[in-house]
A and B are shown apart, each in its own frame.
Chain A
Amino acid sequence: MSEKQIISPESSISYEGFFEPKQLFRVIEKWLKENHYDQVEKEAFEKATDAKRFVKYSLEPFKKINDYAKFIIKLKITLSDVEDVIVEYEDNKIPMSKGKVKVSLTGVLETDYENKWEAKPVYFFLITVFNKFIFKTEMAYVKSRLKDEINSLKFEIKSFLNLYRF
């Protein structure tokens, strides 16, 4: 059993207004591709009533940073009260959606994902001693990198939703 540590606790971005759902997913996918993450879809749920839609996606993209550790970003995207509208912008009619968006992100560091270091008690003892005393700075660097990547993805989503106005 590998060890999972929550490095960046769950934080969320909430937005209400006009947006393009497809573009939002494209922005996230593009960022994940650029940062070499493999996508894993955990849940996809969509419920459509007469005029409004509810969409829920859970993604768990991961990136192996070496043979010992990997980053996992737990992404939960919830779109609620979504309705299709047409927005007029500079004499052009643009089809868009209106509703609420909530994206929550959690950064998890999974160590010993191949269960190599737990086969024997002595191995486990050695890896813990190494992690605690010898690779301490390396592990701290790895954790800070995961935090940076979470912040970068958050920034990307916020920029797309025009949450940085000033």
Chain B
Amino acid sequence: MGVGSFRVKYSGIFDLDGLVSSITGWLSSHAYTVKETKYKHKIPKIEISWSCSRKVTHYVKQIIEVKLYGENLQKVEVIKGKEKKLMDKGRLIINISADLETGYADYLDRDHWSKTTFLMKLKDFFNKWIYKMDLGLIYEDEVYYDGLHLSNFIKTKLNMTLDQGEF
């Protein structure tokens, strides 16, 4: 059950190390636990995946997955002000997906809600009829807007936004 997905496409000059550290920094500052699930760097391509989760309650966990693909990457020297700086040039695609997990496994990997068929059905019933409003209006909204804000943050980092709004 996905809550929302966002995509940022960019082609041009950027600071890859700075972008990576600012994405993980943003996620950590919003109380997400960041796990790097994939790191594949073979010039001219790069592929990094992060799986980030935030335990909101004992029952609800918010998940944001970020996948970064880079193509045709090459190092370029850029003169910024009076200094020379080594930056990256290429094409970037960043996919962000926001999701929610209910009745997640605890720190010992014990999934209490999947122990018996009765509990699994109870969870379905609970999510559908009793906890539906809380899931939809509170927890799904939060993670959706976190995903949206992260994509806006990345756009700002890549100078893809205007200094002022369009209106």
Contact = CB atoms under 8 A, between A and B. Distances in A.
A52 interface: no
Interface in A100-141: 115, 118, 120-122, 124-125, 128-129, 132
Contacts of A3: 57-58
A125 B131 CA distance: 10
A124 B130 contact: no
Contact of A121 (B55, B122, B131): B122
Given A121-B103, A129-B130, 8 more contacts: A1-B55, A1-B58, A3-B58, A121-B112, A121-B122, A125-B130, A128-B126, A128-B131
A128 B130 contact: yes
Contacts of B57: 1, 3
Given A3-B57, A115-B58, A125 B112 contact: no
Contacts of A121: 103, 112-113, 115, 119, 122-123
Contacts of A124: 58-59
Nearest to A132: B130
A41 B130 CA distance: 38
Contacts of B58: 1-3, 115, 118, 124
A3 B115 CA distance: 24
Contacts of A118: 58-59
Interface in A25-57: none
Contacts of A2: 58
